[in-house]
Amino acid sequence: MKDKIKSLQKLREERDIGGGIDRINKRHTQGKMAARERIEYFFDPDTFVELQGYIKHRSSNFGLEKKKFFGDGVVTGFGKVNDKLVYIYSQDFTVLGGSLGEMHAKKILNVMDLALKVGAPMVGINDSGGARIQEGINSLAGYGDIFYRNTISSGVIPQISVIMGPCAGGAVYSPGITDFVFMVNNASYMFVTGPEVIKAVNKEEVTFEALGGAESHSTISGVAHFVGSDEKNTLDMVKELLGYIPSSNIEESPVTETNDPFDRMEDDLNEIVPVNPNKPYDMKKLITLVVDDYKYFEVHQNYAKNLIVGFARLGGKTVGIVANNPDIYAGTLDVSASLKGSRFIRFCDAFNIPLISFVDVPGFLPGKDQEELGIIKHGAKMLYAYSEATVPKLTVITRKSYGGAYIVMSSKHLGADIVYAWPTAEIAVMGPQGAINIIFKKDISGAKQPETLRERLIQEYKEKFANPKTPASFGYIDDIIMPTETRPLLIKALESLENKNIKNPPKKHGNIPL
Q: Which residue ranges make up the site for ligand HXC (CB under 6 A)?
A: 96-97, 99, 129-134, 140, 143, 166, 168-171, 194
With respect to ligand HXC, which residue has the nearer C-beta, 130 or 379?
130
Partnered with residue 392 across adjacent β-strands are none
DSSP H helices, 80-230, are 102-118, 137-153, 173-177, 195-202, 208-212, 214-216
Give min distance, CB of 108 to ligand HXC, in A.
Answer: 13
Catalytic residue among 169, 213, 228, 331: 169
Pick the closer one to ligand HXC by CB: 51 or 177.
177
How far apart are CB 288 and ligand HXC at their closest, in Å? 41
Least distance in angstroms from the C-beta of 133 to ligand HXC:
4
Collapsing DSSP states into helix, strand and coil, what is residue 192? coil
- Please tell me whether residue 38 adopts helix, strand or coil conformation: helix
Q: Which is nearer to ligand HXC, 130 or 228 (CB)?
A: 130
- Each as own residue / partner, the long-range contacts of residues 30-33 (CB below 8 Å, 24 or more positions apart, any chain) are 31/187, 31/230, 31/231, 32/93, 32/127, 32/164, 32/165, 32/187, 32/231, 33/231
Give the nearer residue to ligand HXC in terms of CB position, either 18 or 310.
Answer: 18
Q: Which of 119, 155, 176, 404 is catalytic?
A: 404
User: Residues 350, 390: contact at Cβ < 8 Å?
Assistant: no
Task: Give DSSP secondary structure letters for 209-239.
Answer: HHHHBHHHIIIII---SEEESSHHHHHHHHH
Q: H or E element: which one contains 457?
A: helix 450-465
Of 96 and 120, CB closest to ligand HXC: 96
Q: How far is the CB of 86 from ligand HXC (least distance, A)?
A: 25
Our answer to whether residue 404 is catalytic in this structure is yes
CB of 366 to ligand HXC, least distance (A): 39
Supply the minimum distance, in Å, between the C-beta of residue 147 and ligand HXC: 7
Q: Alpha-carbon distance 32 to 24, whole Å?
A: 9
Distance CA(43)–CA(480), nearest Å, equals: 46
The C-alpha atoms of residue 383 and residue 512 are separated, in whole angstroms, by 10
Could you confirm whether 312 is annotated as catalytic? no
Q: Which is nearer to ligand HXC, 99 or 398 (CB)?
A: 99
Which DSSP category does 505 fall into?
A: P
The residue from 119, 136, 155, 170 that is catalytic is 170
SS3 of 158, please? coil
Nearer to ligand HXC, 17 or 81 (CB): 17
Work out the angle at residue 351's Cα, subtended by the Cα atoms of residues 513 and 390, and round it to the nearest 5 degrees. 60
The DSSP call for residue 172 is G
Amino acid identity, position 9: Q
Distance CA 399, CA 271 (A): 13
Distance, in Å, from the CA atom of 357 to the CA atom of 374, rounded to the nearest integer, reads: 24
| Beta carbon of residue 277, minimum distance to ligand HXC (angstroms, whole number) | 51
User: Length of the chain, please?
Assistant: 514
Q: Based on the residue annotation, tell me whether 405 is a catalytic residue of this protein.
A: yes
Residues that are catalytic = 169-170, 404-405
